[in-house]
Structure 1
Amino acid sequence: MSHRPSRRFPGLRRCGPYPVRPPGSRHRVLEPRTAVIMYNYYQKRTNMLLYDLVFSFGLLLGILLFIGFLFTLSRSTETPKMKTAWVIIALCVPIVGPICHFIVYRGQRS
């Protein structure tokens, strides 16, 4: 394999399709593997950020639904046993429990 100089980087030799840093040179050239590793790192960071945003939104939604659920449950005319059952359901199934209560409560109010 011949070592020919790179056109874009005059101080670098080409070894195959990729530029190679000559020994003792201060210029830094990323090898293809390093570039792939960096791309994967930034892709993982972006995915983690998206996951954090979705998780935070879900947590906020769950907290708001539970607070609204407790408020409507305190104003309802259900028996204490039924209220306890609804609280247990809402704690076991965090987002679906309050939504089910709102659906049932709306049907009773009408």
Structure 2
Amino acid sequence: MILNCFEMFYRLGFNNRTFPAKNAAIPIILWVYKNNKEDEISKIKFYESNEPDSDDMKIKKWLTLAFLKRIFGGQSDTVLLEIRKLINESNDIDFPLSSIIRSARGNSTKNYSFDSEIIDTLF
């Protein structure tokens, strides 16, 4: 299952160099396991939908935001615990992107929002 998840990351456009925080894989692996999605992520049709609400696009968006904001830099245990709680408490089988973003809003350093200062830092 873990290898299938990393194959999914590769199909989403990530590779070893563009996947800097391996801890980011943990919540996605948990989501795949909890929702029995291993067979689904192994199929090409999982990646054919370019709909913004599809699971593959939600996962790609979350990973991109997490890497750009360095969410897993420093103490990532708190982030992982919060996301694990959200995934375990969710009755929805879709990837909980909006719940993850909403839950992090109160944290000034581990949220997913972008302002002009952050954009300037990236450039």
Q: Does the pair score TM above 0.5?
A: no
- Higher-Rg structure is 1
Normalising by the residue count of structure 1, what TM-score does the alignment of the two structures yield? 0.31
Normalising by the residue count of structure 2, what TM-score does the alignment of the two structures yield? 0.29
Q: Which has the higher contact order (CA 8 A, sep 6+)?
A: 2
| Structure having the larger proportion of residues in helix | 1
